[in-house]
Amino acid sequence: MNQLTRLRTALSGPQDPRQRLLALSTVVNTIGMGIFLSTGTIFLIRSAGLSPTNAGIGLTVGSLTGFGAGVLIGDQADRRGAREVVIGSMLLEAVASVSLLFVHSLWPLLVVAAAAAVGRSGTGSARGAMIGALAEEGKGAQLRTYLRAVTNVGLAIGTIGAAVVLAVDTRPAYVAMILTDTITFLIGAGILARLPHIPPTRSAGKDSAEPKKERRWVALRDLPYLALTAASSVASLQYFVLVTGLPVWIVLHTTAPRWIAAIVLFFEAAIVAATQVPATRSIDGPRSAARLLALSGPLFLVSWILIAMASGPAAWLAITLLLVGVVVHSLAEVWQAGGAFELSFALARPEAHGQYQGVFGLGYGLTEAVAPIVVIAMCVNWGKPGWIVLGVIVAAAGFVCALVERIWTRSQAAVEAVPADA
């Protein structure tokens, strides 16, 4: 009965009204994200008139232009207060979103994509600082897991809207999609504006005798955290396997009908949203988070082997293999995301969460930029062996994350064991 009670409490969400506002803002914002992720590139090609090559170049180069912005903006969130910085970043994302309606060539796309990348990086790192400030003592993992579940609810809803837009496939439908995405940024920022000011967590080292420059960029000098960021970035390739590789794999290499590509993505988002909280409620600190992260790797490998086997057999068997593979992938994603999310906070210095989340976002941003090339090359062009090799790589990255946590824990224990007057 106690287990059931705890599960119901987790599923009901946080009781703190500030955390509820954050969750509401998150679900609204991710609805727009879900719509745009599924239709944004197609909008640029079908409605804005760009070639597939220019659309890809514009989005990739624009994203790389914003590379590193998250660290700077996250540091500002630590020093000025996270609420205002998150709201400002979301407003920049809103401006970039609506500006897409005026893009019809490569160079304007580069400018808009760069602005969107800066806003996205800033929102991610400053939001991390906000989560760190709003989480109750001992309940940080529970809040972060709940927000992860809320994110997938929004993405699943957005995916349904994207399917409608793609079915209609007209300029007005794509314009409505862009405006909806823009409005979700504005509404999400408006919801956060109802939060009280969150005091800064860092004061530029005024209370310390150490030089200011030596103390400011603490996250960039934290070797265990940098190692975690690097390994987690490799593991995060799993996000792009389903979004980028699987649809192309289904269309070009299986006998399954094309519409299955949309169905499996919605199926995966729905499973993740439903299982994120119960599947990760065992996370109560860095050690349990590292354990789940390590276990996720072998599951990804099993999932991708099943998906690879869908190439060749009859349609009904291909569909069965794809669906089972996506179910396994969904559980692995829940463990990997929950574990990495918890470690990104647990291994960070609490007074610099914004800066640390900015550094963690650097790795994800680089992965996001190179993922299309890597995933297409391995999973589509190389074929079945590519799926297996990529699975081994992602599994190894998960084990490295767990190893980093173990080394970090031992180093913390060694520091705590040293007498204060030593």
Residues 6+ apart with CB under 8 A from 127: 82, 86, 357
Is residue 86 within 8 A of residue 353, CB to CB? The reply is no
pTM for this prediction: 0.74
Nearest to 353 by CA among 151, 190, 140: 140
Q: Which amino acid is at 208?
A: S
Domains, the chain, with CATH or none: 18-200 (1.20.1250.20), 221-417 (1.20.1250.20)
Q: What is the 3-state secondary structure (H, E, C) of 256-275?
A: CCCCHHHHHHHHHHHHHHHH
| pLDDT values of the chain reduced to their tens digit, one per residue, 422 residues | 444 444 454 445 677 899 999 999 999 999 998 888 777 877 888 889 888 778 878 887 877 777 778 888 888 888 888 899 999 999 999 999 999 999 999 999 999 999 998 999 889 888 888 888 888 766 666 777 788 778 878 888 887 888 788 778 889 999 999 999 999 999 999 999 999 988 887 764 444 444 444 456 788 889 999 999 999 999 999 988 887 788 778 878 889 887 777 778 778 878 887 887 787 777 878 999 999 999 999 999 999 999 999 998 899 999 999 999 999 999 999 999 889 988 988 898 887 878 888 888 888 878 877 887 788 888 888 989 999 999 999 999 999 999 999 999 988 877 666 665 55
Residue 314's SS3 state is coil
**Cα gap 110→131, rounded to integer Å:** 31
Asked whether the CA dihedral 225, 226, 231, 234 is positive or negative, the reply is positive
